[in-house]
Amino acid sequence: MNFTKVRKVVTAASALAALVLIPLVVAKYWFYAPPNPEAQPAPVAVEAKPSTGTEFSFPLLDEPRTLPELRFLDGEARALTLSDFQGKLVLLNIWATWCVPCRREMPTLDRLQAKLGGPDFEVVALSIDRGGVEAVNKFYNEIAIKNLKTYIDSALKATRTLKVVGLPTTLLIDNDGREIGRLVGPAEWDTPEMISFLRKQINKPDKTRGQSVKRSARQ
């Protein structure tokens, strides 16, 4: 028996097997490697017809939900958290200047703040623009925003902390800092129906606020 020939055949077979197995191992690691827990896709703009008139509804939770701590900055670079707004009903709007639906609804949020803003209610328009204060203030000046304050989260912490996948996303937060409702997509925030709905939420006793799942403007 020619052992030299056998050894050559075995060597060639081993080399061929290695050529097949190595790419498979690499592919398995590449496609099935554990994901980076910090990695999250950037939220996308949600193009949707704004809720208006008799079609208006704001999804409310059956029970208030405790929110994790969220840190962000105001227009003067002062550090804030949601706890700084406790004691008032907050409409937290997560948005960006590159989000077309966000840009469209911003004047209605400004008018809402003008109508209801005060010790019991505030619109907190939290931008996730990486351009920071300059990008937001430039946009505010372009469309003559007068009543909204500048709030910035250029690190996109809000999208991870609050599990935001689409812009705009708006949370309704009670005076204890708990989420009681969430709307994904744009809305016309200064309609009579919206104003009436928010006034009812402001005036509700704490124990009953946010118990309904939906409230139609026709109710």
With 90 as the cut, is the pLDDT of residue 12 above it?
Answer: no
Q: What is the C-alpha separation between 72 and 128, in angstroms, rounded?
A: 10
- Long-range CB contact pairs, 55-58, < 8 A, 24+: 55/217, 56/187, 56/191, 56/193, 56/194, 56/197, 56/216, 56/217, 57/214, 57/215, 57/216, 57/217, 58/172, 58/181, 58/183, 58/194, 58/197, 58/214, 58/215
Q: What is the C-alpha separation between 83 and 44, in angstroms, rounded?
A: 27
The pLDDT value given to residue 170: 98
Alpha helices in the chain (DSSP H): 3-32, 100-116, 132-142, 157-161, 192-203
Per domain, the residue ranges of the chain are 1-33, 44-203
117-154, pLDDT tens digit by residue? Answer: 999 999 999 999 999 999 999 999 999 999 999 999 99
30-56, pLDDT tens digit by residue? Answer: 222 233 334 445 566 655 554 443 446
**Residue 4: burial class (beta carbons within 10 Å; 0-12, 13-18, 19+):** exposed
- Long-range CB contact pairs, 5-12, < 8 A, 24+: none
Point out which residues pair with 92 in neighbouring strands.
124, 171
Question: At the fourth CATH level, which superfamily is domain 44-203?
Answer: Glutaredoxin (3.40.30.10)
Q: 3-state class of 129 per DSSP?
A: coil
Which position has the token pair 């554990």?
Answer: 34
**Residue 184: burial class (beta carbons within 10 Å; 0-12, 13-18, 19+):** middle
- The closest of 152, 182, 190 to 72, measured between CA atoms, is 152
The pLDDT value given to residue 131: 95
- The closest of 99, 158, 149 to 125, measured between CA atoms, is 149
Tokens (6 digits) for 22? 């190595």
155-212, pLDDT tens digit by residue? Answer: 999 999 999 999 999 999 999 999 999 999 999 999 999 999 999 999 988 654 454 4
CB 158 within 8 A of CB 179: no
The pLDDT value given to residue 57: 76
Tell me the residue type at 75: G
**Among the ranges given (7-11, 34-38, 97-101, 134-138), the one the predictor scored with the smallest mean pLDDT:** 34-38
With 80 as the cut, is the pLDDT of residue 68 above it?
Answer: yes
The pLDDT value given to residue 204: 87
The pLDDT value given to residue 214: 39
Tokens (6 digits) for 25? 């191992």
Average pLDDT in the 100-109 region? Answer: 98
